[in-house]
Amino acid sequence: MKQTVNFYGFQKAFQDLRPNSFSYEGLRALFEYLEELEDSTGIEEELDVIDLCGAYNEYDSVEHYHTEYSLDHDIEDNLVAVTDSGTFIVQAH
């Protein structure tokens, strides 16, 4: 049985389990990306906060990104979304 989750439910799930993993804007961008992904593939995903925190990261600068990944890794290859405040979400790799 699957349950449809709106952004509020998505945000609450993160607040309950991993409140410091993403900014509000980052969560919004990730939610929109995941909805678009479901729409384009036709595959419904289950909401697994722990899995999503392992699969996606939010960075506030390119320098911050490169503290975790070498300079050889191009952000563009794994970029999921950019928020209005300039942070960006990437798929972990």
Residue-wise DSSP of 28-59? HHHHHHHHHHHHHH-------HHHHHHHEEEE
pLDDT of residue 74: 83
Domain count for the chain: 1
Asked whether residue 67 is assigned to any structural domain, the reply reads yes
16-28: average pLDDT: 97
In a domain, 76, yes or no: yes
Residue 45 inside a domain? The answer is: yes
**Which pLDDT score is estimated for 71?**
78
Task: Give the largest CA-CA distance in the chain.
Answer: 43
pLDDT at res. 82: 94
Please indicate, yes or no, if residue 2 is contained in any of the structural domains. Answer: no
Judge whether 57 lies within some domain: yes
Give a yes or no: residue 1 inside a domain: no
In a domain, 53, yes or no: yes
Global confidence as pTM: 0.91
Q: Is residue 54 part of a domain?
A: yes
The pLDDT tens digits of the residues spanning 70-85 come to 877 888 889 999 999 9
